[in-house]
Amino acid sequence: MPTAIEVLFPLPLPPFRYLVPFGERPGPLGGRVVVPWQSGVRIGLVVGVDEVSAGRSLELREAIGWLDQEPFLPEIHTAFLLEIAGYYATPAGLVLAAMVPTGFKEKLVHEIQAVKRAAIDDLPEDLWVEAARLPVEKLELYRSQGLVLERVRVQERQRRVLRAVRPVDRNLAGRAQANQRCALEMLLTYEWFGSAAELSREAGVPESSVRALVRKGYARYEEVPSPPPALPQVLPSEEGFEAAKEPLDLSIRSSLTGGNRRERLGALVPNLVRETEAGRGCLVLVPEHALLEETASLLAAVLPVEVVSGELSDDQRARLWRELPLGPPVVLVGTYLALFAPQRPLGLLVVLEAGNASYKLASGPRMFVPTVAARFAERLDIPLVFTSALFSPEMSQLVSLEGRKHLAYKRLRYHVSDMSSTRSWPLSTDLVKVLKQVGERKRQAVMLTPRRGFSGGLGCRACGWLGSCPNCDLPLRYHRRDAILRCHQCGASRRPPDECPKCGQVTLVPFRGAGTEWFFSAVKKILPDVPVFRLDRDHQDPLEELHQGEPGILVATTAAFRRAPLPDVGLIVVCLLDTHLNVPDFRAEEETLRLLLELPELVKDRLPLTLLQTFSPSHPVCEVVRAKDLDAAVDAFVERMCARRKAFGYPPFSHLAKVQFSARVSASALQAAERFVASLEIRGARAEEVIGPTPAPVGRIKGFYAQQVFLKAAEVERFRWLLEGVKDAGSGVRVRIDVDPREVNEFLD
């Protein structure tokens, strides 16, 4: 029986089948193989081997050859890719692309020759020629007749340089050729230049003179091997960083909560030191690039550190992957891209800020990185630590009681300001009072606003008309400074009308929640002499003055958490807590509490007064932060959240997936969703396992109407079985699956 291999590519596709190269053995799982692909060739990963019938084998193309002697990826990793793809109901190739960020996009040199005595007139024997010499159909024909030999190797990194071909001669002797002569002499002295522009700069001659040298044959461009790219240098942080003295007594899976970001990292330093000294590498995952630099530079003060993130070029990653296994053990700090980095042996896996929303990959395989990391650590049988301000129900499923480590919370003084008992908007009378104090004492304040722009909308006070997006069922956000209405979902924008399009009156006013612009101008009005800074996605004021301790007020979205802490903050304001609490998601309350517990991370030393503006001052979250014993109150809150999730069958006590059907025609989306639910019933789904279809909370986005169905199952096998029922929904309807959705109401593009 012929042998076939299953080959995976870094593309949104499942593995494809090829025949083993003629006369060769299947090769190991996790090896790289070169195969014909459309009209060319490409690199894939062998993820399976099986026998196929002789008849079936006729339909398969033959692989061309192996790329490495040793497996490129250990077998454990290879199997893990497929497992993760299965759980997230995503093509395995997407997981490969996300987890193995190097090794599959190399340029290839593909050469062919005729087999002995094939007597093909358009292909030589005994001489390798570029495959591109032959038209694709010809090559395909000769392949099927077994008339052609093929070989492929990786093209080494090259760069184009300008080199001299012959010396100055009398054709360059004239006065008119002075510039060319000068450039050629310089080129002869230094052997080569990276470009004509570079040479012209160095020689101080116009670029046209250099080009003339090339045209006249005195110089030419050549491809030469280029040196490996430099890796980013991690500069040790100059700031003092309090590392703990003794290692924590960690379990195979642990959590570290409480304190603040730096304290949590500091508490783990002795463990990282111990591992590297024992000759094992450590992996420290961060949720996003913004946290990478801070983390890496703090650790670099005491440990050997390397970094990996999407910011590295392909060549830099290739170099790191090549060199990591050869060098001494390091602490590798990176985003999810670092998870499969070839550090062997690995002694400890740390997932920093495990509750951070950025760990949910928004595109590609919609994986939740902490979950993936936990399964991976389990497979490799190495210890794992989650750190987070707040212990989460998800952690409670993974971490045993002995594994739970806690640092006491920084206790802030909270003041809750009831917006329903104040007439001033958007600054309550309490807030005006404390802001004035901050101004008088020349201190700093941070105000966290729920959104960017001026207001949640622009509407008519007379008739209630509200400007909304032509593509989405959403109000257009009002950006006063740019004098524009903009959709925060699809980006559509338009000029605000001068009068109400509905009733014609000139009574258009900002509606709904205030954003950074509104708070900015409100603060300016009451404190005209205090510098006010704005920070959000649209607008970033330089903050050097604040970082140097100058007085001022920072009005920001949660973008403030991605900046270094400020030195002299006397006041933190959560401008409208309700916006966070009212996010229609079962995690909203926890996320709000997390936000409040992370507030100390905005400030350097002294703990400021924290003022929460809200219409629901007795909300449990407000009660928790005002409790005498904060640590106990948070514990009790998390217990309640766990109990609630258990009662309603939410994760982590069940597996949850959102299946979204979207179409330009509203009825087709609904119809497809209903068909899906009907098919689930035929599969034996129980009533409590299927919720929906329901129209998405924002009914239309970018011109697409969306319907969603939620799938819930206690056991993972059953969950996967139900999810396999998702089929193509027919033309005009897009189906998207999000396993373990973090934002239940997010539109899946």
Which one, 12 or 304, has the nearer CB to DNA? Answer: 12
Asked if 32 and 71 touch (Cβ cutoff 8 Å), the reply is no
Contact flags string 713-742 toward DNA, x per CB under 7 A: ------------------xx----------
Task: Give me the least distance between CB of 737 and DNA, in Å please.
Answer: 14
Cα 401 from Cα 61, distance rounded (Å):
54
Asked if 272 and 264 touch (Cβ cutoff 8 Å), the reply is no
What one-letter code names the amino acid at 441?
Answer: R
Cis peptide before 15, with omega less than 30 degrees from 0?
A: no
Task: Give me the least distance between CB of 609 and DNA, in Å please.
Answer: 48
* Closest listed residue to residue 455, CA positions, set 508, 419, 411: 508
Which one, 493 or 582, has the nearer CB to DNA? Answer: 493
Cα 222 from Cα 200, distance rounded (Å):
18
Is residue 141 a contact residue for DNA (CB under 7 A)?
Answer: no
* Closest listed residue to residue 50, CA positions, set 93, 19, 85: 19
Token digits of residue 377: 């650590």
Q: Which stretch binds DNA (CB under 7 A): 31-39, 202-210, 311-319, 337-345?
A: 31-39
Which one, 110 or 712, has the nearer CB to DNA? Answer: 110
Is residue 37 a contact residue for DNA (CB under 7 A)?
Answer: yes
Residue choice 8, 18, 343, 700 for contact with DNA (CB under 7 A): 18
Is residue 627 a contact residue for DNA (CB under 7 A)?
Answer: no
Asked if 496 and 478 touch (Cβ cutoff 8 Å), the reply is yes
Task: Give me the least distance between CB of 421 and DNA, in Å please.
Answer: 51
Backbone angles phi, psi at 357, to 5 degrees: -65, -25
Contact flags string 392-411 toward DNA, x per CB under 7 A: --------------------
Which one, 36 or 551, has the nearer CB to DNA? Answer: 36
Task: Give me the least distance between CB of 533 and DNA, in Å please.
Answer: 37
Which one, 345 or 732, has the nearer CB to DNA? Answer: 732
Terminal C-alpha separation, the chain: 44
Beta strands in 335-491 (DSSP E): 346-351, 384-388, 404-407, 413-418, 444-448, 455-460, 477-479, 484-486
Is residue 11 a contact residue for DNA (CB under 7 A)?
Answer: yes
Which residues does 124 contact at the CB level (< 8 Å), separation at least 6? 113, 114
Q: Which stretch binds DNA (CB under 7 A): 9-17, 22-30, 289-297, 616-624?
A: 9-17
Which one, 16 or 88, has the nearer CB to DNA? Answer: 16
Task: Give me the least distance between CB of 683 and DNA, in Å please.
Answer: 24
Residue choice 13, 132, 136, 224 for contact with DNA (CB under 7 A): 13
Q: Which stretch binds DNA (CB under 7 A): 12-20, 221-229, 336-344, 451-459?
A: 12-20
Alpha carbon separation from 51 to 9, 78, 128, 729 (Å, rounded): 21, 20, 32, 33
Which one, 24 or 499, has the nearer CB to DNA? Answer: 24
Task: Give me the least distance between CB of 482 and DNA, in Å please.
Answer: 24
Residue choice 26, 36, 551, 652 for contact with DNA (CB under 7 A): 36
Length of the chain in residues, anyone?
749
Rounded to 5°, angle at Cα 290 from 287 and 295 = 75
Is residue 35 a contact residue for DNA (CB under 7 A)?
Answer: yes
Is residue 491 a contact residue for DNA (CB under 7 A)?
Answer: no
Cα 367 from Cα 360, distance rounded (Å):
6
* Closest listed residue to residue 395, CA positions, set 353, 366, 358: 353
Alpha carbon separation from 521 to 453, 478, 512, 524, 570 (Å, rounded): 11, 14, 16, 5, 20
Residue choice 17, 110, 261, 317 for contact with DNA (CB under 7 A): 17
Backbone angles phi, psi at 556, to 5 degrees: -145, 160
Residue with tokens 């925060």: 488
Which one, 6 or 591, has the nearer CB to DNA? Answer: 6
Task: Give me the least distance between CB of 95 and DNA, in Å please.
Answer: 13
Q: Which stretch binds DNA (CB under 7 A): 33-41, 555-563, 566-574, 683-691?
A: 33-41
Is residue 38 a contact residue for DNA (CB under 7 A)?
Answer: yes
User: Exposure pattern of 189-224 as b/e (b: 16+ CB <10 Å)?
Assistant: eeebbeebeebbeebebeeebbebbeeeebbeeeee
Which one, 48 or 270, has the nearer CB to DNA? Answer: 48
Task: Give me the least distance between CB of 10 and DNA, in Å please.
Answer: 8
Is residue 490 a contact residue for DNA (CB under 7 A)?
Answer: no
Which one, 7 or 713, has the nearer CB to DNA? Answer: 7
Task: Give me the least distance between CB of 270 and DNA, in Å please.
Answer: 43
Residue choice 2, 3, 12, 214 for contact with DNA (CB under 7 A): 12
Neighbour-count burial of 724, counting CB atoms closer than 10 A to its CB (0-12 exposed, 13-18 middle, 19+ buried)? exposed
Cα 610 from Cα 597, distance rounded (Å):
11
Neighbour-count burial of 743, counting CB atoms closer than 10 A to its CB (0-12 exposed, 13-18 middle, 19+ buried)? middle
Q: Which stretch binds DNA (CB under 7 A): 14-22, 491-499, 711-719, 737-745?
A: 14-22
Pairing of the two strands 281-285 and 331-334 = parallel
Q: Which stretch binds DNA (CB under 7 A): 6-14, 302-310, 410-418, 449-457?
A: 6-14
What one-letter code names the amino acid at 318?
Answer: A
Task: Give me the least distance between CB of 4 and DNA, in Å please.
Answer: 8
Token digits of residue 368: 């939740």
Which one, 297 or 707, has the nearer CB to DNA? Answer: 707
Backbone angles phi, psi at 590, to 5 degrees: -60, -45
Is residue 702 a contact residue for DNA (CB under 7 A)?
Answer: no
Task: Give me the least distance between CB of 322 and DNA, in Å please.
Answer: 23
Q: How many residues bind DNA (CB under 7 A)?
A: 15
**What part of residues 55-114 is at the interface with DNA (CB under 7 A)?**
59-61
Neighbour-count burial of 259, counting CB atoms closer than 10 A to its CB (0-12 exposed, 13-18 middle, 19+ buried)? buried
Residues contributing to the site for DNA (CB under 7 A): 11-13, 16-18, 35-38, 59-61, 731-732
